[in-house]
Structures are given as structure tokens and as C-alpha cells.
């Protein structure tokens, strides 16, 4: 039997959002600032990221429910239930979130970013260059 690859957590988010109620509904609605701490063994992969650019960050929503398949979009009970794959709900079988964050500053393996909508302490799965 072939061994399955494991997901590598590359860092952790530091910010001031401690519960879902305080989190903006989406990064595009957020003016919150925080820090992406990239673990030292992945610091070299930050080469080429510069202040002022927007990056796409994938997070593992480690506190999200994984057994909910239908939600009211944006938590609005007046809206009809929809499947989680048709929403941006954090509740999903594989709770991966995506945020577009503006890089404000880089200090070693820490990126100061603008646009947080994710809880403090959330693991970082990947960072990608924004296209366009």
C-alpha cells in the first residue's frame, strides 16, 4: 500500500481575532492587521514576496465543524440553506480557507499583513502569488 503524503503546516497566524463572532465575514471587508509567522524551515520560500503586494494565503480552520454540509449563507437565517460548497462557510469537510492579504512589511520569517478574517493561532497551509 502506497503511503499517502501529509499536509505540511508552514506557519501560524497571529492576530487580534479570538472568536468567530468578531471575525469579518470576508477578507475583502477587513481592515485588520496581523502577522503570518512562517516556520524557519520554510523562510527561504518567502524570497520574492515584497511589501505592498497582495498574496493568497490558505489556512487550515482547525476549529471549524467538519460534519455540516448545508448552511445559511453568511449566517443569515432569512436565506435558504445551501450546500457548503456553494458558500464561503468555514464549516466544510476539509476546512481550508482562502484570504487575499496585503503585505505591509517583512521581517525575517514574519509577514505583517492587512485584511485578516481568520482566528488568531490558525495554521497556515500555503501562500501563493495573486494573479492579476
Q: Give how many domains the chain has, as a whole number.
A: 1
- 27: domain range? 11-129
Is residue 5 included in any domain, yes or no? Answer: no
Is residue 22 included in any domain, yes or no? Answer: yes
C-alpha cell at 94: 476539509
Is residue 88 included in any domain, yes or no? Answer: yes
pLDDT at residue 72 tops 80: yes
Q: Give the pTM.
A: 0.85
Task: Categorise residue 76: left if φ over 0, alpha if ψ from -120 to 50, beta otherwise.
Answer: beta
pLDDT digits (tens, 9 = 90+) for 83-115: 988 888 888 888 899 999 999 999 999 999 999
Is residue 97 included in any domain, yes or no? Answer: yes
Q: Tell me whether residue 65 is exposed, middle or buried, using C-beta atoms within 10 angstroms of its C-beta: 0 to 12, 13 to 18, 19 or more.
A: middle
C-alpha cell at 31: 481592515
pLDDT digits (tens, 9 = 90+) for 22-35: 777 776 788 889 99
pLDDT at residue 42 in the model: 98
The more confident residue out of 67 and 46 is 46
CATH of the domain at 43: 2.40.30.70
Amino acid at each position: 500500500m502506497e503511503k499517502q503524503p501529509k499536509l505540511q503546516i508552514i506557519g501560524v497566524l497571529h492576530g487580534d481575532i479570538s472568536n468567530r463572532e468578531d471575525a469579518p465575514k470576508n477578507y475583502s471587508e477587513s481592515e485588520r492587521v496581523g502577522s503570518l509567522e512562517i516556520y524557519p524551515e520554510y523562510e527561504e520560500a518567502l524570497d520574492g514576496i515584497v511589501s505592498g503586494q497582495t498574496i493568497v494565503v490558505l489556512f487550515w480552520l482547525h476549529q471549524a465543524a467538519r460534519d455540516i454540509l448545508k448552511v445559511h449563507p453568511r449566517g443569515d437565517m432569512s436565506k435558504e440553506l445551501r450546500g457548503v460548497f456553494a458558500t464561503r462557510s468555514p464549516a466544510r469537510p476539509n476546512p481550508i480557507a482562502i484570504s487575499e492579504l496585503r503585505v505591509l512589511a517583512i521581517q525575517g520569517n514574519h509577514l505583517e499583513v492587512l485584511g485578516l478574517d481568520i482566528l488568531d493561532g490558525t495554521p497556515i497551509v500555503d501562500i501563493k502569488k495573486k494573479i492579476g
